[in-house]
């Protein structure tokens, strides 16, 4: 744990090293024990939940992030009689709280940090959140950047750190790496980190160690929607019955579809028969024509031969007639 300009820890980096062990933090009243506890709480718990100086049993209004950033360490009374806190720092400085978490089993290191600065003395401090999967330190990584916070942000981004402007994404970032599934664990940590006493143990366990669950509302909702559930059940049964009744119809539809397809196929065959037989007839007639043409050629040759014989016979007839006349 490292802090810089946080509460009365002023002008230098203060380090609290645990090395994975338990530690006992002791000191006189006002020595800064609660200040360190509040730094850890601020690092892990949203600002709207954190209660500063709770470890000392003080009122929530006694300390705040502003009082820690400015370093209020005492009060002075003015002539009007009103007490005014005296700060160690003005609005030209900045504050850093940083925690390094190491998992020896996986050899993983995660650094969380928050940087605060005052834009004006009247309002609350501005801040941004930092997460890095390596070990960072205030002296090496959060100093020597000049007066502009944009320079520090730019440097951290170049070094591979993730920066966030609000707590929710920052909280989701480190919960995912720490293996914390929900905010309930951090809520329990916040309630127990500086606990003085437990009034009602049962109520404490119910409120802070169990996930919230409104059973009465859920039962009321179930009872209210019972009619809808019953109606839905009846609709399902009716749908099942309708499906069973439709199964034969669907089967008949499939059969009808198959028969219709077969009918069209056979009709196609029937319609193709006339073209088939016409083709067969054409082939036969073509063959017949070829045969007749051959026969015609033969008959024409015989006719020519007969004509030649008839011409010769007529010539012989004429010679015979002359011979007969000459004999008479």
pLDDT tens digit sequence for 137-155: 999 999 998 888 999 999 9
Provide the terminal-to-terminal Cα distance of the chain, rounded to the nearest Å.
173
**Residue stretches of the chain with pLDDT short of 70:** 49-62, 81, 194-201, 204-213
Query: Given this model, what pLDDT does residue 62 score?
Result: 62
Q: How many CB atoms lie within 10 A of CB 7?
A: 25
Which runs of E-coded beta strand occur in the chain? 2-6, 9-15, 72-77, 83-87, 94-103, 108-117, 126-132, 162-164
CA nearest neighbour of 129 among 166, 92, 104, 103? 166
- Phi and psi at residue 215, in whole multiples of 5°? -65, -40
| Cβ(185)–Cβ(117) below 8 Å | no
**Cα distance between residue 88 and residue 69, in whole Å:** 9
**Cα distance between residue 34 and residue 198, in whole Å:** 19
Q: Evaluate the CA torsion angle 279, 280, 281, 282 in order and state its sign.
A: positive
The tens digit of pLDDT for each residue in 181-230 reads 877 778 778 777 766 666 666 776 666 566 666 778 878 888 888 888 88
Name the pTM for this structure: 0.59
Query: Given this model, what pLDDT does residue 14 score?
Result: 93
Query: Given this model, what pLDDT does residue 206 score?
Result: 66
**Cα distance between residue 80 and residue 262, in whole Å:** 110
Query: Given this model, what pLDDT does residue 56 score?
Result: 47
Three-state DSSP class for residue 193? coil
Torsion of CA 148, 151, 154, 156, to 10 degrees: -100
């Amino acid at each position: 744990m490292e802090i810089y300009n946080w509460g009365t820890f002023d002008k230098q980096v203060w380090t609290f090293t645990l090395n994975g062990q338990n530690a006992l933090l002791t000191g006189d009243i006002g020595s800064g024990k609660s200040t360190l506890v509040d730094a850890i709480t601020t690092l892990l718990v949203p600002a709207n939940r954190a209660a500063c100086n709770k470890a000392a049993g003080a009122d929530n209004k006694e300390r705040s992030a502003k009082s820690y950033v400015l370093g209020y360490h005492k009060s002075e009374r003015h002539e009007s009689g009103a007490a005014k806190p005296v700060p160690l720092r003005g609005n030209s400085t900045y504050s850093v709280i940083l925690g390094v978490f190491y998992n020896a089993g996986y050899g993983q290191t995660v650094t969380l940090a928050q940087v605060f600065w005052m834009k004006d003395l009247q309002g609350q401090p501005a801040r941004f959140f930092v997460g890095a999967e390596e070990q960072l330190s205030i002296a090496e990584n959060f100093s020597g950047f000049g007066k502009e916070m944009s320079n520090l942000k730019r440097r951290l981004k170049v070094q591979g750190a993730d920066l966030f402007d609000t707590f929710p994404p920052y909280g989701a970032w480190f919960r995912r790496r720490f293996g914390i599934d929900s905010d309930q664990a951090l809520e329990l940590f916040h309630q127990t980190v500086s606990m003085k006493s437990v009034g009602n143990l049962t109520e404490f366990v119910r409120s802070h160690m169990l996930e919230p669950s409104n059973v009465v509302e859920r039962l009321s909702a179930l009872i209210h929607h019972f009619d809808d559930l019953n109606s839905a059940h009846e609709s399902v049964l009716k749908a099942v019955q309708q499906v069973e009744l439709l199964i034969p119809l669907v089967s008949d539809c499939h059969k009808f579809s198959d028969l219709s397809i077969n009918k069209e196929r056979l009709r196609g065959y029937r319609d193709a028969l006339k073209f088939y037989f016409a083709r067969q007839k054409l082939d036969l007639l073509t063959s017949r024509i070829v045969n007749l043409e051959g026969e015609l050629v033969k008959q024409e040759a015989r006719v020519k031969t007969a004509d030649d014989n008839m011409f010769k016979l007529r010539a012989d007839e004429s010679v015979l007639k002359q011979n007969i006349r000459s004999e008479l």
